Each structure stands twice: as C-alpha cells, then as structure tokens.
Amino acid sequence: MPDRPVLWLPRRVSDATVARARQDYDVVLNEADDVSPPERIIEMSAKVDAMMPCHSEIFSADVVAKLDPRLKILANHSVGTDHCDLEALRAKGIAVTNTPDVLSDATAEIAMLLMLGAARRAVEGDRCVRTGAWDFWSPSFMVGKQVSGAKIGIVGMGRVGQAFARKARGFDMEIHYFNRSRLSEADEHGAVYHDTLESLLPEADFLSLHCPATPETRDLLNAETLAKLPAGSIVVNTARGALVDEDALIAALKSGHVSAAGIDCFKVEPGGNPAFADLDNVFMLPHIGSATVRTRDAMGFRALDNLDAFFRGKTPKDLL
Ligand code: DGY
C-alpha cells in the first residue's frame, strides 16, 4: 500500500472533508465540480489509488471493465450505491464502501418537510403570497389534508425509514410499514408490520419511500400499485427516482386519486421531470435529502474512515 495514496474527489465535498483528506492523502480535486463522464472516470482510474464518488458518478459494468488496476477502492460519499455495479466491481477486486447512518436524520427531515408541504399546499400558498395574488380568505380557502393522527405507510424500514418513523410519531401518526424482514418489537415502537406492499398500500393515507433502488424495487409505485392506495393519499419520495413510474404518478395526481406528492428524487437527475412542474399539488426539491452542513461533514468523514481502514490493511466498517 502506498504511504500517501492518491485520492480523487470527483465532486466538491465539504471543506472539513477536504482538509482532513489532505492530512493523509494526495488529493486530486475536480475544481469544475461537474459530473464526470465515463471517459474521465476511466482516465482517472490510472492516476489514483482511491476515489470518493457521489451518486452522480456512474460505475456501470462497461465502465468497471475499463478501470485501471491501480484503482483499489471506491469510498462512496453516499449511502445509495445504485450508481455502482457492485458485482462487476467485486469481480474486478475493487473495494466499495458507502456512508450509512450519518444521513438518516437529515433525509428523514426532508421527507417530513415534503409530506407537510404536499399535505398543506406549500407550493400554492407560497406562490399566492409571493406574487401578490393573495386577495381573498375564507374557511374554504386552501384547505389541505391533516398529517397529525393520520396513517403513514413506510416502504423500507432501514435506518432512514426508522428515523422518519421517529419523526412521524411526533405527529401522532399511526405507523405501518413494509420491509423485507420484520423489526424486533423494541424497534417497531408499535408500528404495524406488513409482509407485502399490497397489504400496506390500502392503509396508507400517506406513503413514504425509504428503500434502495434495485432491479426488484424499480417502478414499485406504478399504475397498479398506486390504484391500491386510498383515494386522496399523499406520496413522498426521498429515496430514488427509480422506485416510481413517473407517468403513472402524474396520471394519479391529475385524477386526484393521489391528492399530492412530495418529491426529492427523480428518474432523470439533475433536471427532474418537467411534467410534474405543471401540477400545483406537487412539492419538489432537487435531491437535497442529506444536504446539511453537519451531515455533509459526517458523510465525508465516514468515507475517509473507510479509506483509512482500507489503507491500514483493516476491513472498512462499511465495506459492501
Ligand atoms: C445518498 O447518500 O444516497 C443520497 O441520495 C445522496 O447521494
């Protein structure tokens, strides 16, 4: 192992992360902070021992096949790893880590913001006041859906799902969840387990997605599954755009079967889906679930902890 491994930071991570990285690594920055196309990733793999990519850098099987053997580890600055073909990376002998735990609360906060904003018509209300169009009030004006005491369906009860459930309990929500495996009674805190998505959906006045994007979860919300939600339910997605058939969600939002949605993740990023922008009942954010100062530092430090362990010959905590 080199004394001072060369580490590429393809995106602008926090200043504290860069400062700490410089203590132990020869750091190569991407000053432009743009998304690296496959050719650049492949070219850089011959110049560095390690990379700290984000979900924006795509390591498909094609890219992985062309990576230089100098590259030893991808210490992802993300919990999601759907941008990495893990099987191909494993076969190539490249270690891969991620950053679980540290972003759960920040992401759950954004899910809460989206749920409240969608339910209480934040987009319409803000626009109405901001544009000076607010010239009317009555008890029937801008009536939304109450979150407190409603039933929330959580898809994926991992770390983020559980952090979201903790916050939802503060709103006295009745928590239902679908997960591959049931949590222990202590971790459930009274939440109701559903062993299929189909059993969860009819209960969900609100539905929040917190599972990873995999071939099995692709488009798990589609015309058929959306139809199983109660009329007027509200959908929140802070996980990945791949989980939702966006055309089907738009149709459900237009028909009113889904009364509103809060969306932080889209099939196409950056950019999102312009068809959502025509709908007042959609509250959107640009994939900023984990974007707080504290969490960005924690993600960078967790990625560095993984790198440090690897280059000291130990097993990184978050080795996948
Ligand atoms: C993650 O960590 O997966 C977030 O989506 C940010 O990349």
Q: What is the number of other CB atoms lying within 10 angstroms of the CB of residue 38?
A: 14
Q: What is the number of other CB atoms lying within 10 angstroms of the CB of residue 28?
A: 14
Respond yes or no: is residue 246 known to be catalytic. no
Please give the pLDDT value at position 3. Answer: 85
Determine if the peptide bond prior to 5 is cis (ω within 30°).
no
Residue nearest to atom 7 of ligand 1 (CA): 78
- Cβ neighbors of 164 (< 8 A, separation 6 or more) are 107, 108, 111, 112, 154, 208, 210
The total of other beta-carbon atoms located within 10 Å of residue 239's CB is 27
DSSP state of 11: S
**Ligand 1-lining residues (CB < 6 angstroms):** 54-55, 78-80, 103, 289-290
269 is catalytic: yes
Ligand 1, atom nearest to 54 Cα: 7
3-state secondary structure 40-59: HHHHHHCCCCEECCCCCCCE
- Residue 239 in contact with residue 246, Cβ under 8 Å? no
Active-site residue (options: 20, 287, 296, 302): 287
Other beta carbons within 10 Å of 183: 17
Residue whose CB lies within 8 A of the most ligand 1 atoms, among 79, 265, 296, for a mutation test: 79
Instruction: For residue 299, give the ligand 1 atom closest to its CA.
Output: 2
pLDDT for 2 equals 78
- Residue 270 and residue 96: Cα distance in Å, rounded? 24
Q: Of 48, 46, 42, 97, whose CA–CA distance to 75 is shortest?
A: 97
CB atoms within 10 A of CB 162: 21
Ligand 1 centroid to residue 312 C-alpha, Å: 26
Q: Which atom of ligand 1 is nearest to the CA of 98?
A: 2
Name residues of the chain where pLDDT drops below 70.
none
Residue nearest to atom 6 of ligand 1 (CA): 78
Nearest atom (ligand 1) to Cα of 56: 7
Total Cβ atoms within 10 A of residue 271: 9
pLDDT score for 28: 98
pLDDT of residue 85: 98
The CA 302 to ligand 1 mean position distance, Å, reads 13
Give the position of tokens 């058929």.
224
Q: Please work out, in degrees rounded to the nearest 5, the angle formed at the alpha carbon of residue 112 by the alpha carbons of 210 and 145.
A: 110
Nearest CA to ligand 1 atom 1: 78
**pLDDT (tens digit per residue) in 54-93:** 999 999 999 999 999 999 999 999 999 999 999 999 999 9
- What is the 141 CA–ligand 1 centroid distance (Å)? 37
Instruction: Please give the domain boundaries of the chain with CATH numbers for all domains.
Output: 6-102+293-311 (3.40.50.720), 104-284 (3.40.50.720)
Out of 11, 240, 296, 302, which one is annotated catalytic? 240
